[in-house]
């Protein structure tokens, strides 16, 4: 008989989403029936007004939980994943609506899927992160993690920005464009895809550079090894920002710089057995739709 290795499971819901209470409570009660200790993220507990389960901060969840189940969407998953990655907590994503690239379980089928995972019938997928350090006015900001991408973009009121890109200390190219996306394989199906970048299988360990509307069409996407260190220097920018998974950002001015490398800890995602990346792509990108 298989012994469940997930003794304490944390439930985390989409921020400020009151409709999350019913599926979270249903899932929590289901886990209790499976003799699993259930805890709620403290912000989730406050949002839904629940005192049914103990509540912990995300850092406390990282230190003590064996598994985190995120109910919401890919945006919620991005924020939680990069917070819990340093703690090596396994994460499962449940999507409120249509299946996502990261949250691949449906609310309707989540109990069956979670039951399989508790029985050990799952596959583990590790996703690399990016770590970025921004230097502004000779002051280095605290490092920021990103699961999807680090993107440097002109603002709504600014013209094209001018950047210098260095790879492993060597000058690579000058870029005059609307922006530059530094992407993980996970992020290759997000902003980078809309900018013309390639789809990268999430099992790859590599970093993509994708220019956004470059002034010179010869500025094309390029894929780098995981160990690469990318430095981007801002030469000209009347209105420029750097975004990390669209969850945080810094304003940038001329002579600011961003150094990006792979993060030290990957995100560990769990999927039920039978999960297929290409099936998910086909569904999300409507590859098989007839004209």
φ/ψ bin of 133: left (φ > 0), alpha (ψ from -120 to 50), beta (otherwise):
beta
52-86 pLDDT, tens digit each: 899 999 999 999 999 999 999 898 999 999 999 99
Looking at the fold, whether 38 and 113 belong to one and the same domain comes out as yes
Confidence at residue 195, expressed as pLDDT on a 0 to 100 scale? 95
Q: Mean pLDDT, to the nearest integer, of 193-202?
A: 96
4-24 pLDDT, tens digit each: 789 999 999 988 887 888 999
Distance CA 176, CA 152 (A): 12
Looking at the fold, whether 50 and 141 belong to one and the same domain comes out as no
Considering the entire predicted model, what is its pTM? 0.93
- What letter would DSSP give residue 120? T
Looking at the fold, whether 161 and 273 belong to one and the same domain comes out as no
Residue 178 is among the residues annotated as catalytic for this protein? no
Q: Is residue 276 part of a domain?
A: yes
Pick from 181, 214, 215, 218: nearest CA to 198:
181
Distance CA 211, CA 221 (A): 6
Q: Mean pLDDT, to the nearest integer, of 234-240?
A: 90
Residue with tokens 């669209």: 246
CATH assignment at residue 244: 2.60.200.30
Element holding 134 (H helix, E strand): strand 130-136
Query: What is the domain extent for residue 59?
Result: 8-127+266-285
Confidence at residue 64, expressed as pLDDT on a 0 to 100 scale? 96
Q: Of the residues 29, 41, 59, 74, which is catalytic? A: 74
210-222 pLDDT, tens digit each: 999 999 988 999 9
């Amino acid at each position: 008989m298989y012994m469940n290795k997930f003794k304490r499971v944390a439930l985390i819901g989409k921020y400020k989403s009151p409709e999350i209470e019913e599926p979270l409570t249903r899932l929590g009660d289901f886990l209790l029936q499976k003799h699993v200790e259930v805890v709620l993220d403290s912000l989730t507990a406050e949002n839904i007004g629940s005192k049914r389960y103990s509540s912990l901060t995300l850092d406390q969840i990282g230190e003590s939980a064996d598994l985190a189940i995120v109910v919401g969407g890919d945006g919620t998953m991005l924020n939680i994943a990069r917070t819990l990655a340093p703690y090596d907590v396994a994460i499962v994503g449940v999507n409120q609506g249509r299946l996502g690239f990261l949250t691949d379980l449906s609310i309707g089928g989540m109990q069956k899927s979670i039951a399989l995972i508790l029985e050990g019938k799952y596959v583990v997928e590790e996703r690399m992160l990016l770590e970025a350090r921004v230097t502004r006015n000779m002051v280095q900001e605290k490092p920021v993690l990103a699961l999807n991408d680090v993107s440097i973009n002109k603002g709504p009121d600014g013209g094209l920005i001018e950047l210098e890109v260095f790879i492993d200390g060597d000058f690579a190219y000058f870029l005059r464009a609307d922006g530059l996306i530094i992407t993980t394989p996970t992020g290759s199906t997000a902003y980078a895809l809309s900018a013309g970048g390639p789809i990268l299988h999430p099992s790859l360990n590599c970093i993509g550079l994708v220019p956004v509307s470059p002034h010179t069409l010869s500025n094309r996407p390029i894929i780098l090894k995981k160990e690469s260190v990318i430095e981007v220097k801002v030469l000209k920018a009347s209105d420029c920002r750097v975004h990390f998974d669209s969850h945080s950002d810094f304003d940038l001015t001329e002579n600011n710089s961003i150094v990006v490398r792979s993060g030290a800890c990957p995100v560990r995602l769990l999927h039920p057995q039978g999960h297929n990346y290409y099936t998910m792509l086909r569904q999300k990108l409507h590859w098989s739709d007839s004209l």
